[in-house]
Chain A
Amino acid sequence: MAHPPRHSAMLSLSNSGSSANSDKQQPPQQIQHIANTGLRVPSNRKTIYDRHLNRSRNAEISRSSFAFLFGEMVTYAQRRVTGIQDLEKRLNEQGYPMGLRLLDLLYYRTITSSTSSSLASSSTSTAPPNRPLRILPLLHLIHGPLWRLLFNRPADALEHSVSPDTPNEYMITDNDPLVNAYVSVPKEMHMLNCAAFVAGIIEGVCDGCGFEAKVTAHNQPTELWPGRTIFLVRFGESVMEREKVLERAGIK
């Protein structure tokens, strides 16, 4: 059983480094009120704008706390749902805003970190990374840098639909999605895949880059990987049309 080490790298979104610790030492009564704005700013001036976005080396959260948090998110999404599709839609919606945020964060970190070659789309130049203009660079961005940011490893496969009827379909495979590590779906809901949350993140990234898409998560278990999940990315017609125009214009 290839098993990732416990407490390995996780979604390191916020980085509560030393600055967060110094926050806590401030007594709460030192929060002052700024007139006219109605916004409260701590008097030690440690707002989110004073935090570093790049301090991610040790800002990892434990697998357990993420598992419990995600478990509660699924439980929350399950309230008053009408069916499995509805539940997956809600999980997707929870992930979507994260995708938009991660996209900006990913680029910011790539610009500022010294090893700026981590974005696959701009492997040749060390200058600021390019925004993806075509589908393939976008998918490589998701498959590589985004997956590394989220799960500390790239995704396991990236495929294009072989059917000529669906040239707009691409598949990203994860053999053992982290979000599903501790999730056992009951038999009566066997169609459900909680990685719909990750699908929502992918959808947010695609939409943020200007590629309208619908992303869904599907179970594809194998003998070796019982939790194997395929993320099906379906791009919209406008994206496919633009893709043709850009191809003719010779833009990569």
Chain B
Amino acid sequence: MTVFSLIIINKAGGLVYQREFQPGLRKLSTNDYLVLAGTFHGVHAITRSITPKLPLSTASTAATTPTSSNMPPTPGIPNSFTPGSAFTFPNPGTPATGLECLETDKFRLTCFQTLTGTKFLLFTDPIMGNIDVVMKKVYELYADYVMKNPFYQLEMPVRCEAFDRHLGGWLRGRT
């Protein structure tokens, strides 16, 4: 049950929050964290766009009216409504979101992107399970103590004492 650190990246790829909970990873300089956030943002966007689309077979293909097929399919929009190119994603029903998980011997990186494009990156022990529970709680605390704080400016670095306090308290309570 080890959560090493949390990074929050805003929708423009800027680092807005970085906090280490337990040692285990090498420390980076502030500048390197900014680079990491920006790089991850780019990689995430690429992984989303290279996600293959599986062509749909028979019935639903016939149902859609074939129009000009040189129109590029818009990523993120549910498949069967795009004219001329009926397809499905590997995970049917959900559009491609991009990189979700990256695993090494020493740590696992889990990424969660909100509807507004904010990304939460959790660095955890590779043997740890139930990361989605942690992620959900982090998101909830973010929605409560960051988004409801009248002094927080959108897309700016998160400096909310109550968020730090509740996040730390909750993670400590789990271990």
Chain A–chain B contact at Cβ < 8 A: yes
Q: Given A67-B148, A72-B150, verify A182-B162 contact (CB < 8 Å).
A: yes
Q: Which residues of A contact B173 (CB under 8 A)?
A: 1
Q: Which residues of A contact B161 (CB under 8 A)?
A: 184-185
Q: Which of A71-115 contact B (CB under 8 A)?
A: 71-75, 78
Among the listed B148, B152, B163, which residue makes an inter-chain contact with A68, where contact means beta carbons less than 8 Å apart? B148
A73 to B150, CA, bound (A): 8
A64 in contact (CB, < 8 A): yes
Q: Which residues of B contact A194 (CB under 8 A)?
A: 150
A151 in contact (CB, < 8 A): no
Q: What is the interface size of chain A, counting residues whose CB is below 8 A from a CB of the partner?
A: 20
Q: Which residues of B contact A182 (CB under 8 A)?
A: 144-145, 148-149, 162
A34 in contact (CB, < 8 A): no
A70 in contact (CB, < 8 A): yes
Q: Given A1-B169, A226-B165, verify A184-B144 contact (CB < 8 Å).
A: no
Whether B149 contacts A71 by the Cβ 8 Å rule is: yes
Q: Which residues of A contact B152 (CB under 8 A)?
A: 184
B160 in contact (CB, < 8 A): yes
Taken residue by residue from 129 to 168, chain B's Cβ proximity to chain A (1 for < 8 Å, 0 otherwise) reads as 0000000000000001100111110000001111101100
A157 in contact (CB, < 8 A): no
Q: Which of B58-80 contact A (CB under 8 A)?
A: none
Q: Which residues of A contact B165 (CB under 8 A)?
A: 226
Q: Which residues of A contact B159 (CB under 8 A)?
A: 184, 186-187
Whether B151 contacts A70 by the Cβ 8 Å rule is: no
Q: Which residues of B contact A71 (CB under 8 A)?
A: 148-150
Taken residue by residue from 171 to 201, chain A's Cβ proximity to chain B (1 for < 8 Å, 0 otherwise) reads as 0000000000011111101000010000000
A185 to B145, CA, bound (A): 11
Among the listed A1, A64, A183, which residue makes an inter-chain contact with B150, where contact means beta carbons less than 8 Å apart? A183
A228 to B146, CA, bound (A): 20
Q: Which residues of B contact A189 (CB under 8 A)?
A: 151
Q: Which of B8-46 contact A (CB under 8 A)?
A: none
Whether A184 contacts B160 by the Cβ 8 Å rule is: yes
Q: Given A182-B162, A184-B161, verify A74-B148 contact (CB < 8 Å).
A: no
Minimum CB–CB distance for B174 against chain A, Å: 13
Whether B150 contacts A75 by the Cβ 8 Å rule is: yes
A186 to B161, CA, bound (A): 8
A1 to B163, CA, bound (A): 14
A26 to B151, CA, bound (A): 40
A67 to B143, CA, bound (A): 11
What would be 5 A-B contacts, judged by CB atoms less than 8 Å apart? A67-B148, A182-B145, A183-B162, A185-B151, A226-B165
Other A-B pairs, 4, CB within 8 Å; known A67-B148, A74-B151, A185-B151: A64-B148, A73-B150, A78-B150, A186-B151
Binding site for B on A (CB under 8 A): 1, 64, 67-68, 70-75, 78, 182-187, 189, 194, 226
Binding site for A on B (CB under 8 A): 144-145, 148-152, 159-163, 165-166, 169, 173
